[in-house]
Amino acid sequence: MTFTSWQFGIFVAIVFAAYYLPALRAFQVQLLVFASLFFYGYGQPELLALLAVAVLGTYLFLLLALRNRQLWLPAGIAFNLALLAFFKYKLLFIDASPSLVDFAPLDFLLKLPLPIGISFFVFHNISLLVDLTRQKGAAPTLTGVFLYIIFFPQLVSGPITRAEMFMPQIKPKYVADIPFVEAAKWILIGFFFKLYVANNLNEMTSHMSYPLYETLQTQDRWLLVFLYSYQIYADFFGYSAIAIGLALLFGYRLPINFNLPYISSSFSEFWTRWHISLSTWLRTYLYVPLGGNRHGVWRTYLNLMIVMGLGGLWHGAGLSYLIWGLLHGLLLVLERPLLARLASIDFAVFRAARITVVFVCVTMLWIFFKLPNFDHAVGYLTGMFTPNTNPNPTKLFYNLALLYSLPVIIQHLGLRPLSEGRLRWAEPYLYGAMAALMYLEAGPETSFIYFQF
């Protein structure tokens, strides 16, 4: 059940109606937990047992760590990382030979599909353990822990919400407190970017896959890389926006996950604007514990490479993901000595040049993200710099490519007048146009890209 399905619309309407019934106000948390379990188990009920093990195991380690943090906090983190490693990276470590697969329990576990959203709820589990044991307060209730970890708007693809931000929000909710206008804006924007932008661009960028890309002309390879850059932003921003809007309807505020990342003038700035909840999590729970920038220049560089490399592997057990992360780490390392000097050069043309360089580099690296098979990624990249003489190239419609990319471009370059209030009168027409376009020109249904993580 995806956010864009009619089943999900009915599901949200029923849960919302029951959630605010005065007779059920005392059971709002339990209702959201039950709804989230239904949402997660819809279509894959066999994975509910794994989710229960992850949450109950984390809660047990939390209770123990509140008594002895030094011993049980590392154990709880190891428990969650072991779950993630087995289900996401099991085939890297386990030889699925017949002699092993004949062992029934292992055969069953090996055949389980990758649990949707495991990367996200494992990070929530670790945040819960670290934040609450650091505060040394009273143990939260089991239902509160369940809600934080499996709250359905953020369960599958985030945003990754820190426990110290979410847990204090668990209290009775009232209809009068709902920011309906704000929630509606987030939801509408999210659906627009997913249905109109991402789904339509997906039809074109599907030609980036092997062996389809071998039919492309050189200039079309370049075009599709930039289209994919717009697509992945629209897809993930769309999900995050819908999640934020849905959470507001139920009285919870999730963190902003994107802040116009494609106008970043440095790679470090890009990671403060792109997937903000992930980069914040990596900085808080990995980069800082490794020492951050407190132990000299070379140790700082090493820490950046480690964090970005692991951030790449977090997305998937493939060489392409590792290379993607390491190259981002390398860019962060290379620019670090220059940032202070570049900051002193402040004029429009130079800033535009910096934004262009960052955007092009980030876009080129999306090739390794789009093509998890490293050989395919290298093959696509090589073809971008090799003339193609294929007599029957794939036909791409450049005018449609521009139309579907335009919302991302306008959002990044043209929102300041609107945010400053000078074009506030145009807001209703803008949202009306988005609603019409996402209804009349929605692309073919596709799952959200980050569902695979």
Q: Please confirm, yes or no, whether 376 is among the known catalytic residues.
A: no
Residue among 178, 131, 399 nearest 281 (CA) = 131
DSSP 97: -
Q: What is the token pair recorded at 90? A: 């099991």
Residue among 410, 406, 372, 385 nearest 201 (CA) = 406
Q: Where is 350: in which H helix or E strand?
A: helix 348-370
Give the active site residue among 315, 328, 376, 412: 315
Residue with tokens 């993607």: 324
Residue with tokens 């279509």: 43
- Residue 271 to residue 159: CA distance in whole angstroms: 15
Helix (H, G, I), strand (E, B) or coil at 422: coil
Residue with tokens 């990342």: 261
Distances (CA, A) of 268 to 78, 229, 358, 369: 29, 18, 10, 19
Q: Is the CB of residue 244 less than 8 Å from the CB of residue 256?
A: yes
- Residue 118 to residue 54: CA distance in whole angstroms: 10
**H-type alpha helices, 156-266:** 163-166, 180-192, 199-205, 218-249
Residue among 177, 178, 130, 168 nearest 147 (CA) = 168
- Residue 53 to residue 327: CA distance in whole angstroms: 36
- Residue 175 to residue 331: CA distance in whole angstroms: 47
DSSP 215: G
Q: What is the token pair recorded at 447? A: 């799952």
- DSSP-based helix, strand, coil % in the chain, nearest 5: 75, 0, 25
Q: What is the token pair recorded at 2? A: 């995806």
Q: Is the CB of residue 197 less than 8 Å from the CB of residue 408?
A: yes
Please give the positions annotated as active site. 315
